[in-house]
Structure 1
Amino acid sequence: MTFSICVRERYTDDDGADRIRYGVAVTTRLPGVGTLCPFASADGAVATQSLVNVELGRKGIEYLGDGLAVDDALEALLNADDGKPQRQLHGVDADGTFAFSGEECNDWYGHVVGENYTVAGNLLTGEDVIDDTAAAYESDAHGDAPLAERLIDALAAGHAAGGDKREDLAVQSAALQVCTTADAVDDPYYNDLRVDATETPVADLRETYETAKRGYEAVMEKYADEE
């Protein structure tokens, strides 16, 4: 199942402090992908897919929190996994990237690694899906849009290129997570979203994002007025 993207971005916050944000987004022709594939924290982002082993994502994030580099952490987990040939696993941390596609994943499968991101997919209509996902993320057309919005745009590009090839499976899902090294209290409410069962996952994820962003902005405005 699935195609997904993991990213790392450095930025300066309003107080002038250097920060890193991490994001992961995924869609597939199965329900509930948000419970299985995407993992993010203030230490990195990881996606586990194909014949999913959720522990690769959970432990991957834990290992990053313990200070392991992403390539060391994810390679160690794969080497201890008897199902490695059927796994797809990729992610980013503060300094590195990692992507793996086992030789027993279902066609079309593969991955691409950029300077600050990884994209991977399997059971796709073709290589254009991950190439267009990566190109959309790299595009300058998004300006200063929040990372969550840009991740949805990347999924939309992959979906438009063909996406998951199993057209006989109507019930689909999508999810995104964004985390930063800033205090968690500052995280917007639209940075951890899931659409668990729908026939239009990317469009519904975008609608959910836009509604959540509107709600977040309304809350910020309300509390600003009360100060």
Structure 2
Amino acid sequence: MTFSICVRERYTDEDGNEQTRFGVAVTTRLPGVGTLCPFASENGAVATQSLVNVELGRKGVSYLGDGLAVDDALEALLDADDGRPQRQLHGVGTDGEFAFSGEECKPWYGDRVGENYTVAGNLLTGKSVIGEVAATYEDSAPAFESEVDVDQALAARLIDALAAGHAEGGDKREDLPVQSAALIVESTEDRSMEPYYNDLRVDATETPIEALRETFEQAERGFEMARERYEDAYDEDDIAQEE
């Protein structure tokens, strides 16, 4: 019912500390995908889809927080799931990637594991959909950790990846016009102000990618305006006096 991407990027913050950011983005020809499929924390990103089992996502990121490798965590959850043949589950952890597509998922379905990312989809117009998602992300991804531009929002590049898959045909159910899209980005970095554009959902629209991009642009604009006004107060832990 959807296609999605999970990514991991390592970078150095302005204080010279090594950090990691994780992102997940998803779209489908049904409303409310953001409530069901994407999950992320400072330990990894997971997407659960096809016949959705939300607990696979929730427990997946929880297990990653407990220190399990992503393949061990997600494989263990699938082994305990009677609906395994109808599930798609993929994600990235601190080290490693994992993707699974059950043999009873609806065609076209499949997944792809790349360096620092995973992509999966079902009920798609064809294999080229996830190929375009992967290629677009790869084209935007830095070749080396030292080249990561931390001022360039990962959220924007995830939207670009979804847009490429959508343009390639995306979800094949054209008789279902009400669609949705969502993204989540989490980081190990402890920021004084968390960017508003790193957790976005468009729950019901006929133009999910355009709506998600517009939402991102407005959230980015709002964040920059708020940071100009409130960042010093956040740094001093005195924001309550500014409200």
In structure 2, C-alpha distance between the alignment counterparts of 1:187 and 1:79, rounded to whole Å: 36
- Judged with a 3 Å threshold, the aligned counterparts in structure 2 of structure 1 residues 102 and 13 are, in CA distance, closer, same or farther, namely same
Determine if contact 1:46/1:57 at 8 Å carries over to the other structure: yes
1:207 counterpart = 2:237: no
1:183-198 equivalent positions in 2, closer than 5 A: 183=190, 185-198=192-205
The alpha-carbon distance between structure 1 residues 68 and 225, as it changes in their structure 2 partners (threshold 3 A), is: closer
CA-based RMSD: 1.6
Answer yes or no: is the 8 Å Cα contact 1:20–1:181 preserved in 2: yes
> Quick one: structure 1 residues 225 and 95, their matched pair in 2 at CA, closer, same or farther if it must change by over 3 Å?
closer
TM-score by length of 2: 0.90
- Indicate if the aligned counterparts of 2:193 and 2:227 stay in contact, CA closer than 8 A: no
> Hey, what does 1:172 align to over in structure 2?
179
Q: The residue matched to 2:74 in structure 1 has which SS? A: helix
Matched-pair contact (CA < 8 Å) for 2:21–2:185: yes
Unaligned runs of 5+ residues in structure 2 are 143-147, 237-243
5 Å matches for 1:67-216? 67-140=67-140, 144=149, 145-183=152-190, 185-216=192-223
SS in 1 for 2:224: helix
Which residue does the alignment assign to 1:223? 230
Structure 1 residue 146, shift from structure 2 partner: 1.0
Instruction: Tell me, in whole angstroms, the C-alpha distance in 2 between the residues paired with 1:59 and 1:128.
Output: 31
In 2, distance between residues paired with 1:178 and 1:140? 16
1:131 match: secondary structure? helix
Identity among equivalent positions (%) equals 76
User: 1: distance between equivalents of 2:85 and 2:110?
Assistant: 13
Q: Match for 1:150: what amino acid?
A: R
**What is the aligned length?**
227
Cα shift at 1:140: 3.7
Verify the 8 A CA contact 2:140 2:157 in the aligned structure 1.
no
Distance of 1:183 and 1:135 partners within structure 2: 31
Secondary structure of the equivalent of 2:94? Answer: coil
- Separation of aligned partners in 1, 2:60 and 2:28: 21
Counterpart Cα distance in 2 of 1:140 and 1:148: 12
Kept in 2: contact 1:179–1:187 (CA 8 A): no
- 2:99 counterpart SS class: strand
Deviation readout 1:109-135 (Å, 9 max, x if unpaired): 000100100000000000010000000
Query: For 2:73, what is the secondary structure of its paired residue?
Result: helix
CA contact (8 A) 1:22 1:42 kept: yes
- Equivalent residue number for residue 240 of structure 2: none
Q: Which runs of 4+ in 1 moved over 6 A?
A: none
> Is the partner of 2:229 in helix, strand or coil?
helix
2: CA distance between counterparts of 1:79 and 1:10?
A: 30
1:14-35: CA deviation from partner (whole Å, max 9, x where unpaired): 1110000000000000000000
Unaligned runs of 5+ residues in structure 1 are none
- Is the 2:192–2:231 Cα contact (8 Å) retained in structure 1? no
